[in-house]
Amino acid sequence: MKIKFEYSTAHFADDLKPSHGPQKWPWWRLFAIAVIRQDIPRPSTGRRMWFYTRWGAGYVGIYLVRRRA
């Protein structure tokens, strides 16, 4: 079994000027987390945790690869 990690912070662009979404949230809602199951063929599995703030978004993912090499 292999374990693979991934991450992305590309959603924190300095020139990002959205008109909706987390950047427009009220001051009391500064952070949110969502855990999403990845659509990976069995027997492998994976999860991705997205985090959202007023200043950007990113994710951290983990895959459990159970296929034989």
pLDDT tens digits for 6-59? 888 766 655 555 555 655 666 666 778 888 888 888 888 889 888 877 777 788
Count of the separate structural domains present in the chain: 1
The whole domain housing 46 covers 2-65
pLDDT computed for residue 57 by the predictor: 78
Q: What's the pTM value of the predicted model, to 2 decimals? A: 0.59
| pLDDT at 2 exceeding the cut of 70 | yes
Q: Is 37 left (phi over 0), alpha (psi -120 to 50) or beta?
A: beta
Could you give the CA distance from residue 33 to residue 35 in angstroms, rounded to a whole number? 7
pLDDT computed for residue 19 by the predictor: 59
| pLDDT at 65 exceeding the cut of 80 | yes
